[in-house]
């Protein structure tokens, strides 16, 4: 295979160079060294450093695979693979921990809650921020370009508990999208720009037979009431400058929770009006993202609001099926709100960090080596392409910068070990060019980099809050129940909203606000 031959050839060249260098040493004296030279004076090759590497994604088919050996040879290490199942990794890890075995690298889907638990139990290592900045300088610069507060997610008890991780797409907002044929049928040449235009569009989508079948069987939109309430009607709430499930700063610089703000009350009142007018699908309460997609492509609804830019692109979750059905999908801009500004809701870029086993707190050499490996696979072209895409010419080809997968490759990604050793694949902004075509990046920038746009993210995103662990379940249930009732008209947005607010505060909400305020003030010092 070409790649293998190239690697073998390079090894031979390197060996020749090393032998030549040896022959030219000793001040030009090329006389062979005596066979009687004491053995202890001969330099010995350093033994490979053993690293236990755990991940619950992209498990390689076998040990000693291509990517594993590539990294081992590059860094003089020996990797022991710990392959967790995607769904049961916590149980499998628990068994390991009970037997006293803690992996050196824990590249798993742990939450900040898991981080707190593992830190308290002495499972994971606290890692000095300066170590990461020293041995992963390019990666740190990339992370901080996405969110300078990326270190917040790993901060607990005044210590840093891992390598920060971000997903840049998470910092872009959710976008409304529309059926282009329906827009034209009701007299619109472009997507609505504000709440008044949106109300007109939804009304005509519902009442003006936009599909031309002579039946009144359409609705303006539905909502994700079943599986992701925090995304439910997000462009409407965002137009008022709020996400009801996020912490935010008010005009006085104090932390508040979106659900109990006057902006949220106004958003609920408008949605209640629209529901009463029949322009919101009454099944929104039981709709999830799959049913929202299905209703859009089956011409029951003409708008949805649960997609991000990559979902709307022609190869995305909504873009691909819309094209297959012959529907012109028109992305919309965030709606201009009552204050004349544009806002978009975002989940935020921060993610829980990559964790290290507690033993690495006292093993400077191994900790440094792992950081160097992560820097290499995250920011070096060769390291990134190999660990993320495999063998060039076998599993992928470069078209410009874009890495294009080979159909029916001779070797599979799992056989090569692709993905397992790089938990930062797809999470490094500088490497986006290998994942997205120039056309796709232009599409992203067109709809997300809008002058004057404010992206709303949770002030406390990925932040350890002890009160959240204590009260979040009851508060989330309380909020969801009231919000559904307020939209459907079972509860009003006057006294009932006031009652909900009081109950939320009394049920632990005030404790959460107090802790969030304290954290915010400490960070602001």
Stretch 203-210: mean pLDDT, rounded? 98
By CB atoms closer than 10 A (0-12, 13-18, 19+), residue 39 is exposed
Query: What confidence tens digit (pLDDT) does each residue in 102-145 have?
Result: 999 999 999 998 999 999 999 999 999 999 999 999 999 999 99
**H or E element, residue 374:** helix 364-379
| CA geometry: angle 520, 168, 338, nearest 5 deg | 65
- The residue behind tokens 């569009």 is 201
Over its C-alpha atoms, the chain yields an Rg (Å, rounded) of: 28
Given a cut of 90, whether residue 38 has pLDDT beyond it is no
Residue 267: which residues within 8 A CB-CB, separation 6 or more? 233, 236, 237, 239, 240, 242, 244
What's the mean per-residue pLDDT of the chain?
Answer: 91
Render pLDDT for 300-329 as a digit per residue (tens, 0 to 9): 999 999 999 999 999 999 999 999 999 999
Could you tell me if 78 and 50 are in contact, meaning their C-beta atoms sit under 8 angstroms apart?
yes
- Asked whether the CA dihedral 68, 69, 73, 76 is positive or negative, the reply is positive
Tens-place pLDDT, residues 41-75: 555 789 999 999 999 999 999 999 999 999 999 99
**Burial category of 358 from C-beta neighbours within 10 Å (exposed 0-12, middle 13-18, buried 19 and up):** middle
Q: What is the pLDDT of residue 183?
A: 98
Residues 373/75, Cβ–Cβ less than 8 Å: yes
What confidence tens digit (pLDDT) does each residue in 145-191 have?
999 989 999 999 999 999 999 998 988 999 999 999 999 999 999 99
Share of the chain above pLDDT 90, in %: 87
**The predicted structure's pLDDT at residue 43:** 59
Residue 371 in contact with residue 356, Cβ under 8 Å? no
Decide if pLDDT at 387 tops 60: yes
CA distance 92 to 85: 8
Rounded mean pLDDT of 339-347?
A: 95
Helix or strand (DSSP H, E) at 294: helix 289-297
Neighbour-count burial of 40, counting CB atoms closer than 10 A to its CB (0-12 exposed, 13-18 middle, 19+ buried): exposed
Average pLDDT over residues 33-46: 53
CA 35 to chain centre: 60
Residue 10 banded pLDDT, cuts 50, 70, 90:
very low
What pLDDT digit, counting tens, does each position of 424-438 carry? 999 999 999 999 999
- pLDDT above 70 (res 195): yes
> In whole angstroms, how far apart are CA 331 and each of 225, 335, 440, 516?
22, 12, 14, 35
Which pLDDT band, with edges at 50, 70 and 90, does 35 fall under?
very low
Q: How far apart are CA 110 and CA 128, in angstroms?
A: 20
The reported pLDDT for the residue numbered 469 is 87
More confident residue, 301 or 3: 301
């Amino acid at each position: 295979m070409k790649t293998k031959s190239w690697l073998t050839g390079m090894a031979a060249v390197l060996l020749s160079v090393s032998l030549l260098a040896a022959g030219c040493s000793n001040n030009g004296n090329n006389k062979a060294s005596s066979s009687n030279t004491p053995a202890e004076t001969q330099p010995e090759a350093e033994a490979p450093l053993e690293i236990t590497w755990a991940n619950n994604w992209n498990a390689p088919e076998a040990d000693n695979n291509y990517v594993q050996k590539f990294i081992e040879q590059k860094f003089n290490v020996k990797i022991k693979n710990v392959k967790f199942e995607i769904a049961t990794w916590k149980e499998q890890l628990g068994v390991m921990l009970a037997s006293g075995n803690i992996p050196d690298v824990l590249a798993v889907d742990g939450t900040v809650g898991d981080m707190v638990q593992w830190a308290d139990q002495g499972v994971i290592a606290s890692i000095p921020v300066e170590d990461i900045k020293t041995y992963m300088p390019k990666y740190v610069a990339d992370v901080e370009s996405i969110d300078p507060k990326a270190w917040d997610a790993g901060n607990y008890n005044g210590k840093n508990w891992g390598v920060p991780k971000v997903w840049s797409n998470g910092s872009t907002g959710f976008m409304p999208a529309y059926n282009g044929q329906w827009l034209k049928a009701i007299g619109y040449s472009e997507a609505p720009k504000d709440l008044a235009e949106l109300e007109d569009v939804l009304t005509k989508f519902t009442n003006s037979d936009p599909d031309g079948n002579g039946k009144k069987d359409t609705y303006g939109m539905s909502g994700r009431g079943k599986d992701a309430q925090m995304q439910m009607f997000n462009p409407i709430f965002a137009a008022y400058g709020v996400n009801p499930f996020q912490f935010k700063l008010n005009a006085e610089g104090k932390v508040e929770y979106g659900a109990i703000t006057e902006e949220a009350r106004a958003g609920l009142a408008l949605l209640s009006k629209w529901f009463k007018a029949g322009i919101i699908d009454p099944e929104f309460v039981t709709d999830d993202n799959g049913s929202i997609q299905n209703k859009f492509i089956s011409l029951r609804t003409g708008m949805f609001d649960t997609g991000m830019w990559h979902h709307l692109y022609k190869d995305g979750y909504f873009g691909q099926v819309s094209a297959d059905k012959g529907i012109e999908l028109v992305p919309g801009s965030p709606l201009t709100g009552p204050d004349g500004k544009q806002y978009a809701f975002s989940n935020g870029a921060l993610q829980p960090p990559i964790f290290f086993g507690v033993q690495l707190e006292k093993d400077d050499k191994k900790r440094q080596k792992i950081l160097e490996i992560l820097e290499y696979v995250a920011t070096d072209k060769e390291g990134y392409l190999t660990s993320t895409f495999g063998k060039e010419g076998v599993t992928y080809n470069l078209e410009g910068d874009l890495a294009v997968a080979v159909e029916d490759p001779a070797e599979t990604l799992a056989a090569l070990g692709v993905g397992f050793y790089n938990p930062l694949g797809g999470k490094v902004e500088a490497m986006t060019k290998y994942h997205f075509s120039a056309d796709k990046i232009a599409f992203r920038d067109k709809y997300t980099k809008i002058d004057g746009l404010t992206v709303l993210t949770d002030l406390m995103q990925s932040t350890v809050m002890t009160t959240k662990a204590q009260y979040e379940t009851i508060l989330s249930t309380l909020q969801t129940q009231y919000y559904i009732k307020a939209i459907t008209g079972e509860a009003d947005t006057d006294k009932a909203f006031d009652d909900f607010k009081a109950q939320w505060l009394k049920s632990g909400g005030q404790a959460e606000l107090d802790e969030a305020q304290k954290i915010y003030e400490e960070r602001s010092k």
